[in-house]
Amino acid sequence: MSDYLQVILWFFLIELLGLLSIPLAENAGNRLADGGISAAKTLGILLVAYFSWIFSYIWGFNRVTILISVLVLCLLSIGLYRKKRIFPERKILLVNELVFLTAFFFFLIIRVHLPEIYMHEKFMDSAFLNAVIRTSSFPPADPWFAGGSLDFYYYFGYLSVGVPGVLCAVKPSILFNLAVALTFALSFNLFFGIGYNLTHGKIRYGLLTAGFGMLLGNLQGLFEFVSMYVLKEQVSSMYYWSSSRVIPFTINEFPYFTFIHGDLHSHMLAIPFQLLVLGFLLNIYFRKNEHSIFENSLSFFTFSIALGFLFPSNSWDFPVYFGLTLFVIFAFYYGHYIQKKNTSYSISGFFSTFILVSVFSFLPYLPFYLSFSPQAAEGFDFVLPESRTTIDKFLILFGLFLFLAFSFLVIRLDSGRKIGFFILLIGGSILLSMAWAIPLLAVLLPLLTLSLFIFLKDLPERSATGFVSLLIATAAFLGLLCEVVFLDDPISGEFARMNTVFKFYIHLWIFLAIAASYSYYALRSFSWGESGNRGLLKGAYVKRTWAAVLVLLVISCSFFPVVSTCTRIKEMNAEPSLDGMEYMKELDMGDYNAINWMQENITGSPVILEAAADDGGYGYTSRVSANTGLPTVIGWARHERFWGRDHREVKQRIKDVRSIYSTGNEKKALELMDKYNVSYVYIGNLERQTYSVKLDKFEDETCFEPVYMGTVTIYKLKEICKR
């Protein structure tokens, strides 16, 4: 079957999963304007990935298991459809399909011009994706540490894109690029759905939300453009890079940077699953005048599975959305108390629902937790004053969103007294920020206080305003949290809080982007005088000034996506292709042909031997394991140390790899190969350049069989010589 036919089958499978999931999505999103349709494709992928994983403990992970999982999804949907006869309006279905297809093909075209699975951490991502595709049981083998497994890493994001790829037999180096485009499109579609549902069916505001969330950059894009192309200053990196490094010694990614950068990391793959949970939470928040927080047991199951999926996809996301879930459950039962005045039922309902959601977002993933053994984190530590974020850097990142969010919140202060309290709060926050050496207190404490006030005030109504206020409050809280504590991982010194800011600021972007787009809708939909305070922000001059600032901010944030896309494609200068290994044809044709042969002819997960280096990674070493998923003795050493592997063992493995290639003693080589259960020895140009390879020992036909010959030679160790 040709690569293109496999891609077409893959695409139709994605469409089929979306179609099959419509009844389940509508059941879990029946209070939303789109009936949950924007969540259908993501939900279908999630459920089939989950069923495939859980069934693998019975039948193993293979195509049959995946087909059974698709059949289970089909039976669930047919049963639900026959019972409730729910199906979306044609207009809603067509609009969401058009949004998805436009986003998918837009970014697929970009990936076709940026296809290379090389540089940065793409080898790591490719290694994990290939390891998941190749495995027959979970957790998959660690492709960079023979004998180890991915029991230290959250791999469900790779599973979610790997499952459709396995079923359609898509070449992994093509699947990598399809996965980036698919994740972009799913995320764009879900952002659109959230904006559409918050505004009760306004398509243009759904598109605005998707644009804010997925397309805009931060203000650094404008500053870098002026620096590079107007002032002609020398810069140390490519145009797009500095927009993700605004706060010194941290990473400040946002969706468009993440996708244009192209590393298939867990935090990218998790974005649509975060938005899926957010959409379901919005549905729960809108369930006013309902006796139960969930429509039925199936909607409860759907939500719990979706929430629980976040931890094994990207564990940083789960506590954030678990906390949001807690507040939404509280909002439901508080509203029930206001209506029914039944204290005992409201309290018991809150705690019972909280416990049930906790249990059923955990239990379905119990096999994962039983094997999960993270070793990189060692608790929390406090942020030093000199490492904290300054206000100017924070405004560069979120200036547009904060401008709209503050406008939205402040205009709801409906009396001069409340405005006075708010001004006092700002003054007090400034004083506290100076006293405690936390600059962001001056911005985030007023934002947190005001948004919580609006949220609590909205509880009897549970309108979109209250939900958006909750998102703003969560973003403000997370921003302050990053100024106080950080996860203590192996990165130390000035970069100690890099990962904490990196992971949590993605949430800030998502929440504030949604809040900003809804804020614009709310401010435009109601006259300034009717939206709250009648004196504040009133008058033609004020409105024109406000609009001018907004336009300026939007234009400034639009520089990044336009310039970064053009410059990335120009700098890459790659031949358009879907195959992420095409670059190897020029770099090393021998590797390209040999790796393709291995993908087609080696089954299971036997250990291979390839060149290793103690140079920290990010280079060409480990290219075989990265592109096949076959475990090698030792891959990128720095990463394995970061993930918690013993430093002495990593060093010893690097030494042993050198010995196997370089020794002329066949017995010694066999002993070391037996130590790591090596089945194949790969000898390409990189191995010849790195080691003084002694080939004589591999020519012994008693123990070694040359299974591939060319500029690359691959030897297979015969069973008779395995101990």
Give 334-373 pLDDT, tens digit per residue: 887 887 777 888 888 899 999 999 999 999 999 999 999 8
Segment 516-548, tens digit of pLDDT: 999 999 998 765 444 455 455 566 788 888 999
The answer to whether the beta carbons of residues 498 and 251 sit under 8 Å apart is yes
DSSP 559-583: HHHHHHHHHHHHHH-PPP-S-TTTT
Report the pLDDT value the prediction gives residue 399, as an integer from 0 to 100.
Answer: 95
- 347: Cα separation from own chain's centroid: 35
Average pLDDT score, the chain: 91
Strands of 42-110, DSSP E: none
ω into residue 164 within 30 of 0, thus cis?
no
Element (H, E) at 360: helix 343-360
Looking at residue 289, its pLDDT comes to 78
- The answer to whether position 208 is within a domain reads no
For residue 629, the one-letter residue type is: G
Using the 8-state DSSP alphabet, how is residue 146 labeled? T
Q: Is residue 648 part of a domain?
A: yes
Average pLDDT over residues 290-299: 88
Residue 50 corresponds to which amino acid?
Y
**pLDDT at res. 1:** 59
Beta-carbon contacts of 490 under 8 Å, excluding residues fewer than 6 positions away, are 376, 641, 642
Query: Strand pairing partners for 486?
Result: 381
Domain presence at residue 684: yes
- The reply to whether 635 falls in a domain is yes
Enclosing domain of residue 711: 588-721
Three-state secondary structure call for residue 463? coil
Q: Answer whether residue 665 is part of any domain.
A: yes
Predicted local distance difference test score (pLDDT) of residue 530: 46
In degrees to the nearest 10, what's the CA dihedral of 385, 388, 392, 395? -150
Q: Please write the tens of the pLDDT for every residue from 572-593.
A: 888 899 999 999 999 999 999 9
Share of the chain above pLDDT 90, in %: 70
633 within some domain: yes
Per-residue CA distances from 270 to 183, 209, 214, 276, 314 (Å): 9, 18, 14, 10, 6
Q: State the total domains in the chain.
A: 1
Which tokens is 675 given? 């130590």
Task: Please report whether residue 677 resides in a domain.
Answer: yes
- C-alpha 596/C-alpha 116 separation (Å) is 16
Q: How far is Cα 329 from Cα 339, in angstroms, rounded to an integer?
A: 16
Q: Which CATH number belongs to the domain containing residue 638 in this structure?
A: 3.40.50
Q: What is the pTM of this model?
A: 0.95
Residue 679 counted as domain residue: yes
Contact 680, 529 (CB under 8 A): no
**Would you say 34 and 196 are in contact if contact means Cβ atoms under 8 Å apart?**
yes
- Per-residue pLDDT tens digits for 220-249: 999 999 988 888 887 777 888 999 999 999
Distance CA 330, CA 458 (A): 13
Separation CA 131–CA 604 (nearest Å): 10
